[in-house]
Structure 1
Amino acid sequence: MTISVLLVDDDELVRVGLRVILEAGGEISVVGEASDGAQVVPLIRTTRPDVVLMDVRMPTVDGLAAIRTILADLAEPPRILVLTTFELDDYVYEALRCGAHGFLLKRARPAEIVQAVQMIAASETLLFPEAIRHLAGRRGNRTARATVQRAMLTERESDVLRLVCAGMSNKEIAGRLYLGVETIKTHVGSVLAKLGARDRTQAVIIAYEAGIV
């Protein structure tokens, strides 16, 4: 199955380079391009991409504002992968908190870029878990701790959350805990529901901010 991607970056050379890299293997198709966040929602409605690959720093409407608009205006938003120059960037962290599903370094190798898009589209893994840990771990807050306390996760759900925080896929977690993949999917879904998290990335941020991992 071909993964459709929308590219959003104010640098045309970056967009051209990404298009060449992503379409080289034939499994990813770039269905549209935008140079500013203001163009994103209309393009999503017309192109219906699986993944939006978006720069966070743009001159008119930046990636943060665009992410908020996507999630507020679209009933079924695509997966969002943020482009960044530095992994330990407050813009990246805010993008993840706003609802981005992961981030990708602009200096990444072509194979890593393709793999990142595939991983985000599959929605089962966490990109750069170590960097997310550093970003979230220095921002402990009472709200996150209260959220975890109210969630009352079971022992098994807590185990699953810790392994999600380590960047493991459902299949890897299943192997570690000697459980079926479908059982792990159920546990992950329960963890997200109890934490009020939109996806795995937000659940991991809550876990790190709460200091439980």
Structure 2
Amino acid sequence: MAISVVIADDQEMVRSGFRAILDAQPDIEVLADVADGVAALEQVRRLRPDVLLLDVRMPRMDGLEVLRHLDEEPPATPPGEAGTRVVVVTTFDQDDYVDAALHHGASGFLLKDSGPALLIEAVRAAAAGDVLISPSVTVRLLAQTARRHKARTPRRALSDRELDVARLVAHGASNAEVGKELHLSLSTVKTHLSSIQDKLEARNRVEIAAWVWESGQATSQN
């Protein structure tokens, strides 16, 4: 089944460009594109897409407010099924945007100049429950964000190997890159990530990365 997408951006050329890129993929279907935050919320509630590509600066309601509403709403999907995952797409890589997106459950943060390949990868990653952040954003802005937040206390301590995995995630590594660096299979990486999320009560990779920076674990303690 194709990954269903709604695009929310106030620039028609951006919406048209994103739609053309995504609709050209055999496994992705754009259900709608809208020009403001109110319409974005309406379409997500009506269509229940797998992924919402969400601009930050939009009329009537900005993207971060849309994200906050979606984060606070009761789940609209049956237990065990994923709801709509949000990838924030913006021209501006300001740390306060990333900060707000992280703490309202975004499944990615992408700059508009990242290019078609990264856009497609971000949609597929979000639909799969993974997270992609523009490489130019990841390390610098997560580090800045960490200075303003106290790290959560894990429910249980992470193992040394889980810390290795979490650190690589915090530096923007994909699952495949984590596996290659640590000589682990992809399934083992996913198992570690699932355990890390449970111990940190983190909703996604972004929150794992945020915890690493906030707790001062971004570099090896050995």
TM-score range with shorter-chain normalisation?
0.7 to 0.9
Q: Which runs of 5+ in 1 are unaligned?
A: none
Instruction: Look up the equivalent residue of 1:202 and give its one-letter code.
Output: E
Shift of 1:8: 0.8
Q: Is structure 2 residue 186 aligned with structure 1 residue 181?
A: yes
Shift of 1:180: 3.2
Which runs of structure 2 are paired with 1:137-152 in the superposition (5 Å)? 137-139=143-145, 140-141=147-148, 143-144=150-151, 146-147=152-153, 151-152=156-157
Which runs of structure 2 are paired with 1:1-213 in the superposition (5 Å)? 1-75=1-75, 76-129=82-135, 131-139=137-145, 140-141=147-148, 143-144=150-151, 146-147=152-153, 151-213=156-218
Shift of 1:109: 2.3
Would you tell me which structure has more helix in proportion to its own residues?
1
Q: Which runs of 5+ in 2 are unaligned?
A: 76-81
Q: Deviation digits for residues 97-136 of structure 1, max 9, x if unmatched?
A: 2211111212232333223322332333532245222112
TM-score normalised by L of structure 1:
0.87
Shift of 1:195: 1.4
Instruction: Look up the equivalent residue of 2:83 and give its one-letter code.
Output: P
CA distance in 2, matches of 1:142, 1:115: 29
Shift of 1:34: 2.3
Shift of 1:141: 4.5
CA distance in 1, matches of 2:177, 2:117: 22
* Residue aligned with 1:147, SS: coil
CA distance in 1, matches of 2:136, 2:90: 16
Instruction: Look up the equivalent residue of 2:150 and give its one-letter code.
Output: T
State the superposition RMSD in angstroms: 2.2
Counterpart contact for 2:108–2:131, Cα < 8 Å: no
Shift of 1:2: 2.0
Of stretches 178-187 and 28-37 in structure 1, the one that deviates more from structure 2 is 178-187
Instruction: Look up the equivalent residue of 1:120 and give its one-letter code.
Output: A
CA distance in 2, matches of 1:97, 1:29: 28
Instruction: Look up the equivalent residue of 2:171 and give its one-letter code.
Output: A
The 1:104/1:18 distance shift into structure 2, 3 A limit, reads same
Structure 1 residue ranges (4+ consecutive) displaced by more than 6 angstroms after TM superposition: none
* Residue aligned with 2:26, SS: coil
CA distance in 1, matches of 2:108, 2:94: 13
Fraction of identical pairs, as percent: 42
Matched positions, count: 211
Of stretches 192-201 and 109-118 in structure 1, the one that deviates more from structure 2 is 109-118
Q: Deviation digits for residues 20-60 of structure 1, max 9, x if unmatched?
A: 12112333211112222223333223322111000011122
| Alignment-derived partner of residue 79 in structure 2 | none
CA distance in 2, matches of 1:164, 1:127: 11
